[in-house]
Amino acid sequence: MHDARALIELGDEAVRRLARRGYSLDLSSLEDLQSRRNESIHSADELRSEAKSVAQQVQQTAKAGGDASALKETARKLKEQIRETEAAGERVQAELRDFLLGIPNLPSDEAPDGNSEEFAVEVRRVGNPPAFAFEPKDHVDLGEAMGILDFARATKLSGPRFSVLRGVGAALERALATLFLDIHTRRHGYVEHSVPFLVTRKTMTGTGQLPKFEEDLFATGVAERELFLIPTAEVPLTNLYADEIIPADELPLALTAHTPCFRSEAGSYGRDTRGLIRQHQFAKVEMVRLCAADQSRAELEKTVGHAEACLKELGLSYRVVMLAAGDTGFSAQLTYDLEVWLPSQQTYREISSVSDFGTFQGRRAGIRTRGADGKTQPVATINGSGLPIGRTLAALLEQHQQQDGSVVLPEALVPYLGFRRIKADGSPEA
Protein backbone atom coordinates (compact mmCIF):
# COMPACT_ATOMS: atom_id res chain seq x y z
CA MET A 1 0.00 0.00 0.00
CA HIS A 2 1.14 3.52 -0.69
CA ASP A 3 1.66 6.51 1.57
CA ALA A 4 -0.97 8.94 0.27
CA ARG A 5 1.27 11.92 0.96
CA ALA A 6 4.12 10.40 -1.04
CA LEU A 7 1.85 9.73 -4.03
CA ILE A 8 0.44 13.27 -3.92
CA GLU A 9 3.95 14.70 -3.66
CA LEU A 10 4.99 12.68 -6.73
CA GLY A 11 1.90 14.00 -8.51
CA ASP A 12 2.15 13.64 -12.29
CA GLU A 13 5.20 11.39 -11.87
CA ALA A 14 3.06 8.86 -9.97
CA VAL A 15 0.42 9.10 -12.69
CA ARG A 16 3.06 8.47 -15.37
CA ARG A 17 4.61 5.48 -13.65
CA LEU A 18 1.29 3.82 -12.87
CA ALA A 19 0.14 4.38 -16.46
CA ARG A 20 3.06 2.18 -17.56
CA ARG A 21 1.30 -0.74 -15.93
CA GLY A 22 -2.12 0.21 -17.27
CA TYR A 23 -3.46 1.85 -14.11
CA SER A 24 -5.04 5.29 -14.25
CA LEU A 25 -4.48 7.12 -10.98
CA ASP A 26 -7.26 9.54 -10.07
CA LEU A 27 -4.99 12.04 -8.40
CA SER A 28 -7.72 14.59 -7.70
CA SER A 29 -9.82 12.01 -5.83
CA LEU A 30 -6.80 11.00 -3.80
CA GLU A 31 -6.02 14.62 -2.96
CA ASP A 32 -9.66 15.19 -1.95
CA LEU A 33 -9.70 12.14 0.34
CA GLN A 34 -6.40 13.12 1.95
CA SER A 35 -7.62 16.71 2.44
CA ARG A 36 -10.88 15.53 4.04
CA ARG A 37 -8.94 13.17 6.30
CA ASN A 38 -6.63 16.00 7.41
CA GLU A 39 -9.56 18.33 7.98
CA SER A 40 -11.36 15.76 10.13
CA ILE A 41 -8.23 15.26 12.25
CA HIS A 42 -7.77 19.02 12.62
CA SER A 43 -11.45 19.58 13.51
CA ALA A 44 -11.40 16.80 16.11
CA ASP A 45 -8.22 18.20 17.65
CA GLU A 46 -9.74 21.69 17.87
CA LEU A 47 -12.93 20.36 19.46
CA ARG A 48 -10.96 18.33 22.02
CA SER A 49 -8.91 21.41 22.86
CA GLU A 50 -12.10 23.46 23.29
CA ALA A 51 -13.67 20.71 25.39
CA LYS A 52 -10.61 20.64 27.64
CA SER A 53 -10.84 24.40 28.12
CA VAL A 54 -14.55 24.21 28.97
CA ALA A 55 -13.92 21.39 31.44
CA GLN A 56 -11.37 23.57 33.22
CA GLN A 57 -13.90 26.43 33.34
CA VAL A 58 -16.50 24.09 34.86
CA GLN A 59 -14.06 23.13 37.60
CA GLN A 60 -13.11 26.73 38.30
CA THR A 61 -16.75 27.92 38.37
CA ALA A 62 -17.81 25.08 40.67
CA LYS A 63 -14.84 25.74 42.96
CA ALA A 64 -15.86 29.39 43.18
CA GLY A 65 -19.44 28.40 44.04
CA GLY A 66 -20.89 29.70 40.77
CA ASP A 67 -23.51 28.20 38.44
CA ALA A 68 -21.77 25.92 35.93
CA SER A 69 -24.91 24.50 34.29
CA ALA A 70 -24.49 26.42 31.03
CA LEU A 71 -20.85 25.39 30.82
CA LYS A 72 -21.81 21.76 31.45
CA GLU A 73 -24.33 21.92 28.61
CA THR A 74 -21.62 23.34 26.34
CA ALA A 75 -19.31 20.50 27.41
CA ARG A 76 -22.04 17.95 26.65
CA LYS A 77 -22.58 19.39 23.17
CA LEU A 78 -18.84 19.46 22.52
CA LYS A 79 -18.57 15.81 23.55
CA GLU A 80 -21.28 14.92 21.05
CA GLN A 81 -19.58 16.98 18.33
CA ILE A 82 -16.28 15.22 19.02
CA ARG A 83 -17.99 11.84 18.74
CA GLU A 84 -19.60 12.78 15.41
CA THR A 85 -16.41 14.33 14.03
CA GLU A 86 -14.34 11.26 14.99
CA ALA A 87 -16.92 8.95 13.39
CA ALA A 88 -16.84 11.03 10.20
CA GLY A 89 -13.05 10.94 10.32
CA GLU A 90 -13.05 7.16 10.65
CA ARG A 91 -15.34 6.91 7.63
CA VAL A 92 -13.11 9.05 5.44
CA GLN A 93 -10.03 7.20 6.75
CA ALA A 94 -11.64 3.89 5.71
CA GLU A 95 -12.51 5.37 2.32
CA LEU A 96 -8.93 6.54 1.85
CA ARG A 97 -7.56 3.15 2.90
CA ASP A 98 -9.84 1.33 0.45
CA PHE A 99 -8.74 3.72 -2.31
CA LEU A 100 -5.06 3.12 -1.53
CA LEU A 101 -5.49 -0.67 -1.30
CA GLY A 102 -6.62 -0.70 -4.93
CA ILE A 103 -3.56 1.14 -6.27
CA PRO A 104 -0.79 -1.19 -7.53
CA ASN A 105 2.86 -0.66 -6.77
CA LEU A 106 4.83 1.86 -8.81
CA PRO A 107 6.83 -0.09 -11.39
CA SER A 108 10.54 0.46 -11.48
CA ASP A 109 11.83 2.54 -14.37
CA GLU A 110 14.17 -0.40 -15.04
CA ALA A 111 11.20 -2.49 -16.18
CA PRO A 112 10.74 -2.28 -19.96
CA ASP A 113 7.59 -0.83 -21.49
CA GLY A 114 4.80 -3.21 -22.49
CA ASN A 115 1.89 -5.14 -21.05
CA SER A 116 2.54 -8.81 -21.88
CA GLU A 117 5.23 -11.48 -21.84
CA GLU A 118 6.29 -10.64 -25.39
CA PHE A 119 7.76 -7.36 -24.09
CA ALA A 120 9.98 -9.09 -21.51
CA VAL A 121 13.70 -8.49 -21.97
CA GLU A 122 16.00 -11.49 -21.91
CA VAL A 123 18.84 -11.07 -19.43
CA ARG A 124 20.72 -14.35 -19.94
CA ARG A 125 20.44 -17.96 -21.05
CA VAL A 126 22.03 -20.81 -19.14
CA GLY A 127 22.64 -24.21 -20.73
CA ASN A 128 21.78 -25.33 -24.22
CA PRO A 129 18.36 -26.84 -24.86
CA PRO A 130 18.81 -30.61 -25.28
CA ALA A 131 18.95 -31.94 -28.85
CA PHE A 132 17.12 -35.22 -29.41
CA ALA A 133 17.55 -37.76 -32.18
CA PHE A 134 13.86 -38.58 -31.75
CA GLU A 135 10.57 -36.71 -31.30
CA PRO A 136 10.50 -35.74 -27.60
CA LYS A 137 7.33 -36.47 -25.64
CA ASP A 138 5.66 -34.10 -23.24
CA HIS A 139 5.70 -34.84 -19.52
CA VAL A 140 2.08 -36.00 -19.53
CA ASP A 141 2.68 -38.73 -22.12
CA LEU A 142 5.94 -39.73 -20.45
CA GLY A 143 4.56 -39.81 -16.93
CA GLU A 144 1.35 -41.64 -17.82
CA ALA A 145 3.24 -44.22 -19.92
CA MET A 146 5.52 -44.87 -16.94
CA GLY A 147 2.56 -45.03 -14.57
CA ILE A 148 3.98 -42.32 -12.29
CA LEU A 149 1.43 -39.63 -13.23
CA ASP A 150 -2.33 -40.21 -13.07
CA PHE A 151 -4.54 -37.34 -14.17
CA ALA A 152 -7.66 -39.42 -14.79
CA ARG A 153 -7.91 -40.60 -11.18
CA ALA A 154 -7.12 -37.09 -9.92
CA THR A 155 -10.05 -35.80 -11.98
CA LYS A 156 -12.23 -38.52 -10.47
CA LEU A 157 -11.28 -37.31 -7.01
CA SER A 158 -11.38 -33.54 -7.45
CA GLY A 159 -12.26 -32.58 -11.01
CA PRO A 160 -9.90 -31.21 -13.66
CA ARG A 161 -6.58 -29.47 -12.98
CA PHE A 162 -5.39 -31.84 -10.26
CA SER A 163 -2.83 -34.64 -10.36
CA VAL A 164 -1.86 -37.85 -8.60
CA LEU A 165 1.80 -38.88 -8.48
CA ARG A 166 2.53 -42.54 -7.82
CA GLY A 167 5.56 -44.67 -6.96
CA VAL A 168 8.78 -43.04 -8.10
CA GLY A 169 6.76 -40.00 -9.20
CA ALA A 170 5.75 -39.34 -5.59
CA ALA A 171 9.30 -40.09 -4.45
CA LEU A 172 10.68 -37.63 -7.00
CA GLU A 173 8.28 -34.94 -5.78
CA ARG A 174 9.46 -35.44 -2.19
CA ALA A 175 13.13 -35.53 -3.23
CA LEU A 176 12.88 -32.26 -5.15
CA ALA A 177 11.32 -30.44 -2.21
CA THR A 178 14.01 -31.72 0.16
CA LEU A 179 16.81 -30.84 -2.26
CA PHE A 180 15.52 -27.29 -2.67
CA LEU A 181 15.13 -26.78 1.08
CA ASP A 182 18.65 -28.10 1.65
CA ILE A 183 20.06 -25.73 -0.99
CA HIS A 184 18.35 -22.71 0.55
CA THR A 185 18.99 -23.50 4.20
CA ARG A 186 22.49 -24.96 3.99
CA ARG A 187 23.97 -22.81 1.24
CA HIS A 188 21.98 -19.58 1.29
CA GLY A 189 21.14 -19.13 4.97
CA TYR A 190 17.34 -19.30 4.82
CA VAL A 191 15.47 -20.40 7.93
CA GLU A 192 12.95 -23.14 7.18
CA HIS A 193 9.40 -22.69 8.47
CA SER A 194 6.30 -24.83 8.72
CA VAL A 195 3.36 -22.47 8.35
CA PRO A 196 -0.47 -22.60 8.25
CA PHE A 197 -2.07 -23.26 4.88
CA LEU A 198 -5.23 -21.36 5.89
CA VAL A 199 -4.96 -17.63 6.66
CA THR A 200 -7.18 -14.68 7.46
CA ARG A 201 -8.43 -11.89 5.22
CA LYS A 202 -6.05 -9.48 6.96
CA THR A 203 -3.10 -11.74 6.16
CA MET A 204 -4.08 -11.95 2.49
CA THR A 205 -4.46 -8.17 2.40
CA GLY A 206 -0.98 -7.66 3.87
CA THR A 207 0.75 -9.17 0.83
CA GLY A 208 -1.67 -7.77 -1.76
CA GLN A 209 -3.82 -10.77 -2.71
CA LEU A 210 -6.86 -8.99 -1.30
CA PRO A 211 -8.97 -7.14 -2.07
CA LYS A 212 -8.13 -7.18 -5.79
CA PHE A 213 -7.67 -10.91 -6.43
CA GLU A 214 -10.39 -12.51 -4.31
CA GLU A 215 -11.83 -14.44 -7.27
CA ASP A 216 -8.48 -16.20 -7.71
CA LEU A 217 -8.50 -17.58 -4.16
CA PHE A 218 -10.09 -20.62 -2.57
CA ALA A 219 -12.01 -19.59 0.55
CA THR A 220 -13.51 -21.63 3.34
CA GLY A 221 -15.31 -20.95 6.56
CA VAL A 222 -16.83 -22.59 9.60
CA ALA A 223 -19.62 -20.69 11.36
CA GLU A 224 -18.47 -17.04 11.42
CA ARG A 225 -14.83 -17.81 10.74
CA GLU A 226 -13.49 -16.93 7.26
CA LEU A 227 -10.19 -18.37 6.05
CA PHE A 228 -8.40 -18.53 2.70
CA LEU A 229 -6.18 -21.31 1.34
CA ILE A 230 -2.76 -19.87 0.59
CA PRO A 231 -1.84 -19.32 -3.09
CA THR A 232 1.85 -19.33 -2.11
CA ALA A 233 3.94 -19.52 1.07
CA GLU A 234 4.85 -15.87 0.42
CA VAL A 235 1.61 -14.99 2.23
CA PRO A 236 2.23 -16.61 5.64
CA LEU A 237 6.01 -16.16 5.55
CA THR A 238 5.87 -12.40 4.91
CA ASN A 239 3.03 -11.85 7.36
CA LEU A 240 4.87 -13.64 10.18
CA TYR A 241 6.20 -10.17 10.99
CA ALA A 242 3.00 -8.19 10.40
CA ASP A 243 2.53 -5.28 12.83
CA GLU A 244 6.04 -5.80 14.25
CA ILE A 245 9.18 -3.69 14.40
CA ILE A 246 12.25 -5.71 13.37
CA PRO A 247 15.57 -4.49 14.82
CA ALA A 248 17.75 -3.14 12.03
CA ASP A 249 20.67 -5.38 13.00
CA GLU A 250 18.50 -8.46 12.37
CA LEU A 251 17.95 -7.56 8.71
CA PRO A 252 17.95 -9.07 6.20
CA LEU A 253 15.74 -11.97 7.23
CA ALA A 254 15.67 -14.99 4.90
CA LEU A 255 12.70 -17.36 5.22
CA THR A 256 11.71 -20.48 3.30
CA ALA A 257 8.93 -23.06 3.40
CA HIS A 258 7.60 -26.00 1.41
CA THR A 259 3.81 -25.81 1.17
CA PRO A 260 0.90 -26.71 -1.04
CA CYS A 261 -0.46 -23.76 -3.02
CA PHE A 262 -4.09 -23.31 -4.08
CA ARG A 263 -5.18 -21.15 -7.03
CA SER A 264 -8.37 -20.95 -9.06
CA GLU A 265 -6.29 -19.99 -12.12
CA ALA A 266 -9.29 -18.15 -13.56
CA GLY A 267 -8.84 -17.32 -17.21
CA SER A 268 -6.07 -19.83 -18.01
CA TYR A 269 -6.76 -22.14 -20.91
CA GLY A 270 -5.25 -24.18 -23.74
CA ARG A 271 -1.83 -25.73 -23.29
CA ASP A 272 -1.57 -24.43 -19.72
CA THR A 273 -4.39 -26.69 -18.54
CA ARG A 274 -2.66 -29.89 -19.64
CA GLY A 275 -0.41 -31.65 -17.16
CA LEU A 276 1.51 -30.10 -14.28
CA ILE A 277 2.00 -26.58 -15.62
CA ARG A 278 -1.05 -24.81 -14.18
CA GLN A 279 -3.07 -26.61 -11.53
CA HIS A 280 -5.50 -25.72 -8.76
CA GLN A 281 -3.20 -27.38 -6.19
CA PHE A 282 0.56 -27.70 -6.44
CA ALA A 283 3.58 -27.82 -4.13
CA LYS A 284 6.28 -25.19 -4.02
CA VAL A 285 9.34 -24.14 -2.05
CA GLU A 286 9.21 -20.39 -1.50
CA MET A 287 11.89 -17.86 -0.60
CA VAL A 288 11.09 -14.59 1.23
CA ARG A 289 13.54 -11.90 2.27
CA LEU A 290 12.88 -8.85 4.46
CA CYS A 291 15.41 -6.04 4.30
CA ALA A 292 16.01 -2.31 4.59
CA ALA A 293 14.43 -0.33 1.77
CA ASP A 294 17.76 0.74 0.24
CA GLN A 295 18.88 -2.90 0.01
CA SER A 296 15.94 -4.34 -1.91
CA ARG A 297 17.49 -4.14 -5.39
CA ALA A 298 20.62 -6.01 -4.29
CA GLU A 299 18.51 -8.55 -2.40
CA LEU A 300 16.44 -9.14 -5.54
CA GLU A 301 19.54 -10.11 -7.52
CA LYS A 302 20.67 -12.36 -4.69
CA THR A 303 17.30 -14.14 -4.60
CA VAL A 304 17.33 -14.68 -8.37
CA GLY A 305 20.69 -16.36 -7.94
CA HIS A 306 19.27 -18.64 -5.27
CA ALA A 307 16.47 -19.78 -7.59
CA GLU A 308 18.98 -20.30 -10.40
CA ALA A 309 21.10 -22.50 -8.13
CA CYS A 310 18.25 -25.04 -8.03
CA LEU A 311 17.99 -25.18 -11.81
CA LYS A 312 21.74 -25.48 -12.23
CA GLU A 313 21.87 -28.30 -9.70
CA LEU A 314 19.37 -30.22 -11.82
CA GLY A 315 21.16 -29.54 -15.11
CA LEU A 316 18.15 -27.79 -16.61
CA SER A 317 18.39 -25.35 -19.50
CA TYR A 318 16.71 -22.04 -18.70
CA ARG A 319 16.75 -18.31 -19.26
CA VAL A 320 16.17 -15.20 -17.11
CA VAL A 321 13.93 -12.37 -18.34
CA MET A 322 12.90 -9.02 -16.87
CA LEU A 323 9.15 -8.51 -17.08
CA ALA A 324 7.61 -5.46 -18.71
CA ALA A 325 6.03 -2.87 -16.43
CA GLY A 326 2.49 -3.75 -17.54
CA ASP A 327 3.08 -7.48 -16.97
CA THR A 328 4.49 -7.07 -13.46
CA GLY A 329 2.35 -8.32 -10.57
CA PHE A 330 0.13 -5.95 -8.59
CA SER A 331 2.44 -5.70 -5.55
CA ALA A 332 5.81 -5.81 -7.32
CA GLN A 333 7.95 -2.96 -8.59
CA LEU A 334 10.38 -5.16 -10.53
CA THR A 335 10.20 -8.85 -11.46
CA TYR A 336 12.52 -11.40 -13.03
CA ASP A 337 11.05 -14.60 -14.43
CA LEU A 338 13.13 -17.75 -14.74
CA GLU A 339 11.90 -19.76 -17.70
CA VAL A 340 12.81 -23.41 -18.20
CA TRP A 341 13.03 -25.07 -21.61
CA LEU A 342 10.21 -27.50 -22.40
CA PRO A 343 11.17 -29.63 -25.41
CA SER A 344 7.59 -30.69 -26.13
CA GLN A 345 6.60 -27.04 -26.64
CA GLN A 346 9.93 -25.91 -28.10
CA THR A 347 9.85 -22.86 -25.89
CA TYR A 348 10.81 -21.49 -22.49
CA ARG A 349 8.07 -21.52 -19.83
CA GLU A 350 8.01 -19.73 -16.49
CA ILE A 351 9.23 -21.83 -13.57
CA SER A 352 10.06 -19.11 -11.05
CA SER A 353 9.06 -15.49 -10.57
CA VAL A 354 11.26 -13.38 -8.29
CA SER A 355 10.00 -9.92 -7.32
CA ASP A 356 11.14 -6.82 -5.49
CA PHE A 357 8.13 -5.26 -3.74
CA GLY A 358 9.99 -2.32 -2.25
CA THR A 359 8.12 -1.17 0.87
CA PHE A 360 4.69 -1.85 -0.67
CA GLN A 361 3.96 -5.03 1.31
CA GLY A 362 5.81 -3.79 4.39
CA ARG A 363 3.50 -0.78 4.55
CA ARG A 364 0.34 -2.87 3.97
CA ALA A 365 1.28 -5.43 6.61
CA GLY A 366 2.76 -2.97 9.10
CA ILE A 367 6.23 -4.58 9.03
CA ARG A 368 8.72 -1.95 10.13
CA THR A 369 12.26 -1.32 11.25
CA ARG A 370 14.03 1.71 12.71
CA GLY A 371 16.24 3.98 10.66
CA ALA A 372 19.43 5.64 11.83
CA ASP A 373 17.30 8.54 13.08
CA GLY A 374 15.35 6.19 15.35
CA LYS A 375 12.11 6.62 13.40
CA THR A 376 10.17 3.59 12.21
CA GLN A 377 9.90 2.90 8.50
CA PRO A 378 8.46 0.01 6.48
CA VAL A 379 10.79 -2.80 5.47
CA ALA A 380 11.21 -3.94 1.88
CA THR A 381 10.22 -7.45 0.86
CA ILE A 382 11.50 -9.83 -1.80
CA ASN A 383 10.02 -13.18 -2.73
CA GLY A 384 10.54 -15.88 -5.31
CA SER A 385 9.82 -19.50 -6.13
CA GLY A 386 12.67 -21.77 -5.33
CA LEU A 387 11.13 -23.86 -7.00
CA PRO A 388 7.63 -25.16 -7.79
CA ILE A 389 7.74 -28.94 -7.63
CA GLY A 390 5.32 -29.83 -10.42
CA ARG A 391 6.82 -27.59 -13.10
CA THR A 392 10.32 -28.72 -12.13
CA LEU A 393 9.27 -32.35 -12.37
CA ALA A 394 7.76 -31.70 -15.80
CA ALA A 395 11.00 -30.06 -17.02
CA LEU A 396 13.11 -32.91 -15.62
CA LEU A 397 11.06 -35.56 -17.41
CA GLU A 398 11.12 -33.68 -20.69
CA GLN A 399 14.74 -32.48 -20.75
CA HIS A 400 16.22 -35.75 -19.47
CA GLN A 401 14.06 -38.23 -21.40
CA GLN A 402 15.65 -41.01 -23.44
CA GLN A 403 14.58 -42.62 -26.71
CA ASP A 404 13.48 -45.82 -24.95
CA GLY A 405 10.99 -43.88 -22.80
CA SER A 406 13.17 -43.81 -19.69
CA VAL A 407 14.43 -40.72 -17.85
CA VAL A 408 17.96 -40.23 -16.53
CA LEU A 409 17.90 -38.06 -13.43
CA PRO A 410 20.64 -35.60 -12.36
CA GLU A 411 23.29 -36.75 -9.93
CA ALA A 412 22.12 -34.23 -7.31
CA LEU A 413 18.91 -36.24 -6.75
CA VAL A 414 20.54 -39.63 -6.26
CA PRO A 415 21.24 -39.15 -2.50
CA TYR A 416 17.56 -38.33 -2.00
CA LEU A 417 16.17 -41.10 -4.22
CA GLY A 418 18.66 -43.95 -4.14
CA PHE A 419 18.42 -44.38 -7.93
CA ARG A 420 19.50 -42.51 -11.06
CA ARG A 421 17.10 -43.73 -13.72
CA ILE A 422 13.36 -44.14 -14.12
CA LYS A 423 12.78 -46.98 -16.56
CA ALA A 424 10.06 -46.85 -19.18
CA ASP A 425 7.84 -49.02 -16.97
CA GLY A 426 8.16 -46.57 -14.08
CA SER A 427 10.49 -48.70 -11.96
CA PRO A 428 13.68 -47.27 -10.47
CA GLU A 429 17.15 -48.28 -11.64
CA ALA A 430 20.35 -47.44 -9.80
User: According to the model, what pLDDT value does residue 308 have?
Assistant: 98
Dihedral over Cα of 388, 393, 394, 396: its sign:
positive
274 assigned to active site: no
User: According to the model, what pLDDT value does residue 339 have?
Assistant: 98
List, for residues 24-37, the tens digit of each pLDDT value.
999 999 999 999 99
Structurally, the chain folds into a number of domains equal to 2
CB 132 within 8 A of CB 353: no
**Average pLDDT of the segment spanning 343-362:** 97
User: According to the model, what pLDDT value does residue 371 have?
Assistant: 87
The reply to whether 277 falls in a domain is yes
- Residue 381 and residue 406 in one domain: yes
194 assigned to active site: no
- Residue 170 and residue 48 in one domain: no
List, for residues 71-117, the tens digit of each pLDDT value.
999 999 999 999 999 999 999 999 999 999 999 999 999 999 999 99
Full domain range(s) for residue 406:
117-429
The reply to whether 111 falls in a domain is no
- Residue 96 and residue 130 in one domain: no
List, for residues 214-266, the tens digit of each pLDDT value.
999 999 988 889 999 999 999 999 999 999 999 999 999 999 999 999 999 76
The reply to whether 272 falls in a domain is yes
List, for residues 290-326, the tens digit of each pLDDT value.
999 999 999 999 999 999 999 999 999 999 999 999 9
- Residue 350 and residue 221 in one domain: yes
User: According to the model, what pLDDT value does residue 266 have?
Assistant: 66
13 assigned to active site: no
> 213 phi and psi, to 5 degrees?
-110, 30
- Residue 242 and residue 335 in one domain: yes
Determine which one of 350, 352, 364, 385 is catalytic: 350
pLDDT interval class at 403 (50, 70, 90): very high
User: According to the model, what pLDDT value does residue 417 have?
Assistant: 97
The reply to whether 106 falls in a domain is no
**Average pLDDT of the segment spanning 187-193:** 98
Peptide bond into 160 cis (omega under 30): no
User: According to the model, what pLDDT value does residue 269 have?
Assistant: 56
- Residue 296 and residue 414 in one domain: yes
Determine which one of 37, 263, 319, 363 is catalytic: 263
- Residue 32 and residue 82 in one domain: yes
Dihedral over Cα of 331, 337, 343, 347: its sign:
positive
The reply to whether 126 falls in a domain is yes
Please state, for a pLDDT cut of 90, what percent of the chain lies above it. Answer: 93
The reply to whether 109 falls in a domain is no
Tell me: pLDDT of 273 over 80.
Answer: no
Cα–Cα distance between 267 and 384 in angstroms, integer?
23
Q: Write down which residue in 46, 75, 101 finishes a domain.
A: 101
263 assigned to active site: yes
User: According to the model, what pLDDT value does residue 265 have?
Assistant: 77
pLDDT interval class at 267 (50, 70, 90): low
User: According to the model, what pLDDT value does residue 221 have?
Assistant: 87
- Residue 93 and residue 122 in one domain: no
- Residue 209 and residue 306 in one domain: yes
- Residue 12 and residue 95 in one domain: yes
20 assigned to active site: no
User: According to the model, what pLDDT value does residue 299 have?
Assistant: 98
DSSP codes, 337-358: EEEEEETTTTEEEEEEEEEE-T
Determine which one of 21, 161, 278, 364 is catalytic: 278
The reply to whether 367 falls in a domain is yes
CA max distance for the chain: 108
Amino acid found at 206: G
3-state secondary structure at position 82: helix
Q: Write down which residue in 70, 101, 132 finishes a domain.
A: 101
pLDDT interval class at 1 (50, 70, 90): confident
Mean pLDDT of the chain, nearest integer: 95
- Residue 149 and residue 41 in one domain: no
Cα–Cα distance between 387 and 384 in angstroms, integer?
8
Cα–Cα distance between 334 and 109 in angstroms, integer?
9
**Average pLDDT of the segment spanning 270-274:** 65
Query: What is the CATH number for 316?
Result: 3.30.930.10
User: According to the model, what pLDDT value does residue 61 have?
Assistant: 92
CB 149 within 8 A of CB 139: yes
Q: Write down which residue in 68, 101, 134 finishes a domain.
A: 101
Determine which one of 163, 331, 353, 385 is catalytic: 353
Determine which one of 20, 289, 363, 391 is catalytic: 391
DSSP 194: -
Residue 176's alpha-carbon distances to 75, 180, 255, 415, in angstroms, are 70, 6, 18, 11
The reply to whether 393 falls in a domain is yes
- Residue 92 and residue 142 in one domain: no
Query: What is the CATH number for 79?
Result: 1.10.287.40
DSSP codes, 115-181: SSGGG-EEEEEESPPPP-SS-PPPHHHHHHHHTSEEHHHHHHHH-SS--EE-THHHHHHHHHHHHHH
